[in-house]
Amino acid sequence: MKIPHLTGFAAIALLGLAGCSSNDHDDPPDVPAPPPVAQLPQLSPAVGATLGACTELAARVTIPDTTITAANEIAAGALTIAGKPVAAHCQVLGQMFRRVSPVDGKSYAIGFEMRLPRNWNGRFFYQANGGVDGSVVTATGPVGGGGPLDNALNQGFAVLSSDAGHGAPTPFFGIDPQARLEYGYQAVGKLTPMAKSLIQLAYGKAPDRSYIGGCSNGGRHTMVAAARYAEQYDGYLAGNPGYRLPLAALANIGGAKTYAALASTPGDLTTGFTQAERSLVSNAVLGKCDALDGASDGLVQDTGACQAAFSLERDVPTCTGARDGTCLSGAQKTGIAALFSGARTESGATIYTSFPYDAGFGTNGWASWKFGAPIDRDSGAAAFIWAVPPEDPTTFNGRDFVLNVNLASLLARVNAANATYTESGMGFMTPPMAPTWPG
């Protein structure tokens, strides 16, 4: 097992423990000795290597439960990222643990791609992908931070990408219990040692440093890896991690039910909180909160202060007649304020955390997540990936499911397990030893 890096918090903890030792026999009681300085472990530099033959790798790999389907030479400049040519490398395609499900009768495997640079820097990067996975995207290792201006592959890392155990970016893989577990955490656990073995074979040495990173569900993969496979990685890059995705999806479904109930056009969620009304609220939030962070720049950065300063009831006009975009109805204020204070079941049980008010109400992105995503994304994920038992895919309709589902019942199903689905949705999606959900 690798010795993990000590963070600043770990160093502080060591200092605190060291300071607990008694010095009464050596120092005057009124002049305490300074605590000893903790010595952080010093790691040797990562050492790179040059890749040998690429196309021969497919025939040389004898990793258990692994099939290499192709090994292709990629010339320098054949792949570009943000206009930058990527250096010469080897693309390796394969699958792990091919099987036929005894539950839905469909074929499954953990598909993957590895890109091995000709001039390797001695490091490995696991590219954790987002959404419901289901496709092997190009393994370039995006590292975020201002856009895709560079990537781990171009910096000399060996990079892995996978489909997390199912071959389509749809939620129906959740009918198969094992595919749920692959998506939740087991694909990372199986792919990581395979990738390191492939690196050893390709370069004659194992990686000196290993990292995993991703955004959204990729950030969740990263956080789960940090908890379940800490000995496998030296660093973690968790961008916008969907730490409790099942509960976030249920909260979004609850929001859709609220906007549907407020809709002036039945079935059209956007008419429950129109563009004009959202712009009205956005401007009201800015008026109360923009300057709280010390700069009047159209951004609400001090969201904590804004929560205390802004009131939907007080700071937005209440309609005395028809809704015309210059006011909100009393029902709108009650319903929307309840969503921002934290989604709840029909009986008032907490589903998810509260949301801060900011100036994003008027954007198309906000509308997409609140009006479209519950039906197009959250419904299928909740119904098939997390709920026990899952819905019947032959009769499922996302809109009908969202508008008619009982939230308390769905929350119970996301936390449930049975003889077929032995781990609950919250269990396989979150790090182990997480608090009881919700809470």
Query: What per-residue confidence (pLDDT) applies to 424?
Result: 97
Tell me the per-residue pLDDT of 221-240, one tens digit each, with 9 for 90 and over: 999 999 999 999 999 999 98
Residue 295 covered by a domain: yes
| Separation CA 12–CA 10 (nearest Å) | 5
Using a pLDDT cut of 90, give the percent of the chain over it: 80
Say whether both 23 and 104 belong to one domain: no
| Separation CA 83–CA 154 (nearest Å) | 12
Question: How many domains would you assign to the chain?
Answer: 3
Examine the fold and report which residue of 25, 42, 59 is the final residue of a domain before the chain moves on: 42
Residue 120 covered by a domain: yes
pLDDT higher for 335 or 142?
A: 335
Assigned token pair, 287? 């008026």
Say whether both 235 and 165 belong to one domain: yes
Which of 431, 368, 379, 370 minimizes the C-alpha distance to 404?
Answer: 379
**Which residues lie closer than 8 Å to 4 by C-beta, 6 or more apart?**
230, 234
Examine the fold and report which residue of 214, 243, 272 is the final residue of a domain before the chain moves on: 243
Say whether both 167 and 204 belong to one domain: yes
Residue 439 covered by a domain: no
Which residue matches tokens 């393994």? 139
Q: Give the residue-averaged pLDDT of 190-207.
A: 97
| Separation CA 331–CA 318 (nearest Å) | 10
Say whether both 267 and 294 belong to one domain: yes
Tell me the per-residue pLDDT of 396-427, one tens digit each, with 9 for 90 and over: 999 999 999 999 999 999 999 999 999 999 99
Say whether both 311 and 213 belong to one domain: no
Query: What per-residue confidence (pLDDT) applies to 199?
Result: 97
Q: Tell me whether residue 217 is exposed, middle or buried, using C-beta atoms within 10 angstroms of its C-beta: 0 to 12, 13 to 18, 19 or more.
A: buried
Q: Residue 178: pLDDT above 70?
A: yes
Query: What per-residue confidence (pLDDT) applies to 1?
Result: 34
Which of 241, 128, 238, 138 minimizes the C-alpha distance to 187?
Answer: 128
Determine which of 39-53, 59-73, 171-185, 240-254 has the lowest per-residue pLDDT on average.
39-53
Say whether both 6 and 90 belong to one domain: no
Residue 435 covered by a domain: no
Tell me the per-residue pLDDT of 384-394, one tens digit each, with 9 for 90 and over: 999 999 999 99
Say whether both 23 and 55 belong to one domain: no
Residue 438 covered by a domain: no
Instruction: Provide the 10 A C-beta neighbour count for residue 166.
Output: 28
Query: What per-residue confidence (pLDDT) applies to 17?
Result: 28
Say whether both 57 and 35 belong to one domain: no
pLDDT higher for 432 or 308?
A: 308
Q: Give 148's pLDDT tier (boundaries 50, 70, 90).
A: low
pLDDT higher for 8 or 365?
A: 365
What residues make up the domain containing 336? 246-429
Tell me the per-residue pLDDT of 279-326, one tens digit each, with 9 for 90 and over: 999 999 999 999 999 999 999 999 999 999 999 999 999 999 999 999
Assigned token pair, 32? 């305490």
Say whether both 193 and 327 belong to one domain: no
Examine the fold and report which residue of 243, 263, 296 is the final residue of a domain before the chain moves on: 243
Q: What does the H/E/C string look like for the chain?
A: CCCCCCCHHHHHHHHHHHCCCCCCCCCCCCCCCCCCCCCCCCCCCCCCEECCCCCCHHHHCCCCCEEEEEEEEECCCCCEECCEECCCEEEEEEEEEEEECCCCCCEEEEEEEEEEECEECCEEEEEECCCCCCCCCCCCCECCCCCCCCECCCCCCEEEEECCCCCCCCHHHHHCHHHHHHHHHHHHHHHHHHHHHHHHHHHCCCCCEEEEEEECHHHHHHHHHHHHCHHHCCEEEEECCCCCHHHHHHHHHHHHHHHHHHCCCCCCHHHHCCHHHHHHHHHHHHHHHHHHHCCCCCCCCCHHHHHHHCCHHHHCCECCCCCCCCCECHHHHHHHHHHHCCCECCCCCECCCCCCCCCCCCCHHHHHHHHHHHHHHHHHHHHHHHCCCCCCCCCCCHHHHHHHCCHHHHHHHHCCCCCCCCCCHHHHHCCCCCCCCCC
Q: Residue 248: pLDDT above 80?
A: yes
Determine which of 11-25, 64-78, 97-111, 385-399 has the lowest per-residue pLDDT on average.
11-25
Say whether both 222 and 253 belong to one domain: no
Residue 437 covered by a domain: no
CA distances from 191 to 108, 197, 201, 253, 298 (A): 15, 10, 15, 33, 45
Which residue matches tokens 């770990």? 10
Query: What per-residue confidence (pLDDT) applies to 31?
Result: 61
Query: What per-residue confidence (pLDDT) applies to 20?
Result: 31
Assigned token pair, 195? 């990738």
Select, from the ranges 38-47, 322-331, 353-362, the one with the highest average predicted confidence (pLDDT). Answer: 322-331
Determine which of 14-28, 250-264, 341-355 has the lowest per-residue pLDDT on average.
14-28
CA distances from 266 to 259, 272, 396, 403 (A): 10, 9, 21, 11
**Which residues lie closer than 8 Å to 206 by C-beta, 6 or more apart?**
196, 199, 200
The pLDDT mean for the chain works out to 90
Torsion of CA 244, 248, 188, 109, to 10 degrees: 140
Q: Give the residue-averaged pLDDT of 366-373.
A: 96
Say whether both 317 and 400 belong to one domain: yes
Using a pLDDT cut of 70, give the percent of the chain over it: 90
Q: Sign of torsion, CA 249 251 254 258? A: negative
Say whether both 272 and 370 belong to one domain: yes
